[in-house]
Amino acid sequence: MSNIALLLMDLQNDYYSTFEGAKWPLSGTEKASENAAILLAQFRDNGMPVVHVRHEFPSDEAPFFVPNSDGAKIHPTVTPIEGGPVVLKHQINSFRDTDLQRVLEELNVERLIIVGAMSHMCIDAVTRAAVDFGYECHVAHDACATLDLEFNGVIVSAHNVHHAFMAALSFGYCNVQSTDKLLDLVR
């Protein structure tokens, strides 16, 4: 079990509809965060590695995750422990221009359970990149959130966006399961 880590992606205040002043609330962030917190507690109870990833845009003109803002802080439901690894990123892919790869190597990680936001962006990008780097990946689909999208005048519901990306990841990249099923990997 020691070669598996929990990777919590962008569970930051601006994504929570219950956070006053949220700049980019997603659909279902609170429920996804509840499930992420269950996995987080299990990893901590077992003394297993946990890596948080936090996104900040490089400019104060950003639509959300403005540098040094309360909205860019990790949500209290999944707060990192003092001194625990927190990777700061400025790109969609968490491996790009960060030390995520080095952090995972130092922790001797070979497998990842991935949770967070957004399903169609950062979850998709980090999972595909991690697989390309040789990690065995597992995504907790009920611990991820996204939002409605529009393409060519068609609104695609967050539910459908999420399911389409989970289906694509499970088709060729990783194991996509519920939080309960993935807990079996770390019990």
Instruction: Show which residues are catalytic.
Output: 10, 89, 122
Question: Which residue is associated with the tokens 């003394």?
Answer: 47
Residues β-bridged to residue 7: 51, 114
Separation CA 17–CA 25 (nearest Å): 5
**DSSP state for residue 124 in the 8-state scheme:** H
Contact between residue 161 and residue 147 where contact means Cβ atoms under 8 Å apart: yes
Spatial neighbors of 105 by CB under 8 A, at least 6 apart, are none
Judge residue 53's burial from the number of C-beta atoms within 10 Å of its C-beta, 0-12 exposed, 13-18 middle, 19 or more buried: buried
Closest CA to 133 of 164, 106, 107, 112: 112
What residues are paired with 52 via a beta bridge?
Answer: 8, 86
